[in-house]
Amino acid sequence: MFFDLNIQGSGLENNIKMARQASSYGWDHINFSYNQNDFKQALTLKDELHENLDDIIDFDFTLEIESKNINEIRKTANNFRSRASCISVVGGDLKVNRAVVENSKIDVLSRPYLNRYDAGLNHVLSKEAVNNNVAIELCFKDLLKTYLAPRAKVISNFRDIYALHAKFNFPLILSSRAESVFDIKTPQDFVSVFSQTGLAHEDIEKSFKTAFDILRFNEDRDKMILKGVRRVDDEA
């Protein structure tokens, strides 16, 4: 099954258009992403989206935190944890990258390479991502919207992340970060393009399962006592 946890959400009509396009291209589930300023308002669209999309595609919402203030990131994640099926933080700043992979209440460090000359990850941060089960997100749009030297740099950063992923096996997800129907591509496009950048086919397939696992884990997060230990209600 094919999961995209980062389609940039907007108004009701545009969300419906993008969801229908994603479904027609073969996606099984999408998450509409909103930043911390718009997330509450976005949740009010949920009922109308269900009325229009329940027979077309599964969907939910990602809180995408954009901030360089570590305390704000931590506070926002705590405040919205129970209401978001996925919490992601836009990376790039090394202090932000570190704080995110050290925080088990956050699901995804998105684009740790953003606006950097390196990948934004190293051995230490990779180990923390494993320990706290924080996924690293690579966005198709960063390839789609860049050219020449900037695109070459993105590919180089991707390959550095692939090497760290191969060594440490932190969770890895791939997303579109689409803002319109024109940014949405098929899952086969993902496989083809990311394969060309050097990511193994089995890792691409695993990335979709990782996205699914994030959603499934968060359904039961409030019942988790320890990592891997879930409270089971006594029905007797």
The domains of the chain, with CATH numbers, are 3-230 (3.20.20.140)
- Answer yes or no: is pLDDT of 234 > 80: no
pLDDT score, position 165 = 98
Query: Of the candidates 30, 28, 12, 17, which has an alpha carbon nearest to the alpha carbon of residue 180?
Result: 17
- Answer yes or no: is pLDDT of 228 > 60: no
Are residues 21 and 233 in contact, defined by beta-carbon separation less than 8 angstroms?
no
> pTM of this prediction?
0.93
pLDDT tens sequence across 80-95: 999 999 999 999 999 9
- Answer yes or no: is pLDDT of 152 > 80: yes
- Residue 227's pLDDT band, with cuts at 50, 70 and 90, is low
- Answer yes or no: is pLDDT of 174 > 50: yes
pLDDT score, position 225 = 45
Q: List C-alpha distances in Å: 21 to 17, 29, 144, 179, 220.
A: 6, 12, 18, 12, 30
